[in-house]
Structure 1
Amino acid sequence: MREGTASASVSLDRLLELAEVLGAMMERGVTKHGLTRARAGLLWALFHDGAMTQRALAARLQVTPRNVTGLLDALEADGLVARAAHPTDRRATLVSLTESGRTLTVGLRVGRDTLARELFGDMPAAQLAAIQDGLETVIARLCAIGRASG
């Protein structure tokens, strides 16, 4: 960016453009696997955090338990997740990835890792660190704004 062109408004415009581009890429990526972004997010949560109750999934995804039920119904019908009785709480249902769900999620991670290498693989460490630091600050501020307004 040329000297004198950096401003808060220009920076926000660039972030919004980035969000649009990444959102469209994510949408295409999950759609080619027959998923929605919400379903992919649920699979990703199970992949990273392991089996959990439907209530824990709802909290993790910051959605209602009813929303999780709908997502799980579709993912279970596709053979990507399985629900079972919780071993110690008979009122709870435990959700886990099936082998097909795990395979699909590993594929999503490979795609993510490939994109990361294409974007950042040859970037100098100092520049990459500056991007990460800046993004951490922006994310923290957005979270604080969201908490204050919500």
Structure 2
Amino acid sequence: MTGPDTALDRTLELAVLVNEDMDRALATDGLTRSRAHVLFELHHRGPVPQRTLSTALQVSARNITGLVDALVATGFVTREPHPTDRRVVLVTPTEHGARTAATLAAGRHQLASALFDGMPANRVATYTEVLDEVLARFRELTAATAR
């Protein structure tokens, strides 16, 4: 019978494997997870102020400035003036950044398909429900210890 320790061991093993695979894939484009997260946000939202990115990634303004600076330096994004508000600067993906984000999104979809296609839909749904419950519990535990 599988107990809580085994369930946690499998969860940690999966986390390590996913992180290692993600780091390898991102390294080919010269990206870190945090920089890729910025690109994903821009891929889904379009050009936005840095403040919006800071909120979405739950990082400080200083942290998002460093991430955007690095993405500008490597040609993934630009900073453009807002068309109607001169006080606001928009972080905008370059063609290279948009293409990279689309490739990463396609790779994410391919991985999801490789992992879950062919599994009965009810098993995928159950897996997702269990993960949702575990994530909620973990968030509660970490929130309680952060106080």
TM superposition score normalised by structure 1:
0.90
Alignment pair present for 1:90 and 2:104: no
Secondary structure of the equivalent of 2:127? helix
**CA deviation profile, 1:6-48 (whole Å, cap 9, x unmatched):** 2112111111111001000000010011111111111011111
Which residue matches 2:120?
Answer: 124
Q: Post-superposition shift, 1:149?
A: 2.1
Over the aligned positions, Cα root-mean-square deviation in angstroms equals: 1.4
Which residue matches 1:30?
Answer: 26
Which residue matches 1:61?
Answer: 57
Q: Structure 2: which 5+ residue stretches go unaligned?
A: none
Q: Structure 1: which 5+ residue stretches go unaligned?
A: none
Which residue matches 1:141?
Answer: 137
Whole-Å separation in 2 of the counterparts to 1:14 and 1:88? 51
Secondary structure of the equivalent of 2:86? coil
Whole-Å separation in 2 of the counterparts to 1:58 and 1:134? 30
Whole-Å separation in 2 of the counterparts to 1:83 and 1:149? 38
Q: Post-superposition shift, 1:148?
A: 2.0
Q: Post-superposition shift, 1:76?
A: 1.0
Alignment pair present for 1:71 and 2:62: no
Structure 1 residue identity aligned to 2:13? E
Secondary structure of the equivalent of 1:90? coil
Which moves more between the two structures, 124-133 or 139-148? 139-148
Structure 2 residue identity aligned to 1:145? L
Structure 2 residue identity aligned to 1:37? R
Which moves more between the two structures, 98-107 or 48-57? 48-57
TM superposition score normalised by structure 2:
0.92
Whole-Å separation in 2 of the counterparts to 1:97 and 1:142? 34
